[in-house]
Structure 1
Amino acid sequence: MTAKRTFRVWRGGGDGALADYEVEVNEGEVVLDVLHRLQATQAPDLAVRWNCKAGKCGSCSMEINGRPRLSCMTRMSVFEPEETVTVTPMRTFPVIRDLVCDVSYNYAKAREIPSFTPPADAGPEGYRMAQEDVQRSQEFRKCIECFLCNNVCHVIRDHEENKEHFSGPRFLMRVAELEMHPEDSADRRMVAQDEFGLGYCNITKCCTEVCPEGIKITDNALIPLKERVAGRRYDPLVWLGSKIGLRSPDADTPRVPNTRPGDGGPARS
Structure 2
Amino acid sequence: MSSYEARFKVWRGDVQGGGLEDFKVEVNDGEVVLDIIHRLQATQAPDLAVRWNCKAGKCGSCSAEINGRPRLMCMTRMSVFTREETITVTPLRAFPVVRDLVTDVGFNYTKAREVPSFVPPEGLAPGEYRMMQEDVDRSQEFRKCIECFLCQDTCHVVRDHEENKPAFAGPRFLMRVAELDMHPLDAASETGLDRKKTAQDEHGLGYCNITKCCTEVCPEGIKITDNALIPLKERAVDRKYDPLVWLGSKIRRRSS
The answer to whether TM tops 0.5 is yes
Moved more, 53-62 or 233-242: 233-242
Percent of aligned pairs with the same amino acid: 75
Task: Name 2:184's counterpart in structure 1.
Answer: 182
2:126 and 2:103 map into 1 onto residues whose CA distance is 47
2:63 counterpart residue number: 61
From 220, 239, 243, give the equivalent of 2:227: 220
CA distance in 1, matches of 2:71, 2:156: 16
Equivalent in the alignment of 2:198: 191
- Give 1:125 shift: 7.7
Give runs of aligned pairs for residues 1-269 of structure 1, distance below 5 A: 1-14=2-15, 15-122=17-124, 126-186=128-188, 187-241=194-248, 246-247=252-253
CA RMSD of aligned residues (A): 1.6
- Give the helix-richer structure, 1 or 2: 2
Query: Residue by residue, what CA displacement relative to the aligned partner does 1:190-216 show, whole Å, maximum 9, x if unpaired?
Result: 011100000100000000000000000
Name the SS of the counterpart of 1:87 in structure 2.
Answer: strand
Equivalenced residues, count: 247
> What residue identity is the alignment partner of 1:182?
P
Q: Deviations over 1:222-265 (max 9, x none)?
A: 001011111111121232356x67539xxxxxxxxxxxxxxxxx
Question: Which secondary structure does the structure 2 equivalent of 1:247 belong to?
Answer: helix
Change (3 A) 1:194 1:21: same
Structure 2 portions without partners, runs of 5+: 189-193
Pair 89,123 (structure 1): closer, same or farther in 2 beyond 3 Å: closer
Alignment partners' CA distance in 1, 2:77 and 2:122? 50
For structure 1, the residue ranges without an aligned partner over 5 or more in a row are: 249-269
What TM-score results when the alignment is normalised by the length of structure 2? 0.93
Q: Is the 8 A contact 1:63 1:88 kept in 2?
A: yes
* Letter aligned with residue 198 of structure 1: L
Runs of 4+ aligned structure 1 residues displaced above 6 Å come to none
Q: In structure 2, what residue type is equivalent to 1:110?
A: A
Shift of 1:2: 1.3
SS in 1 for 2:93: coil
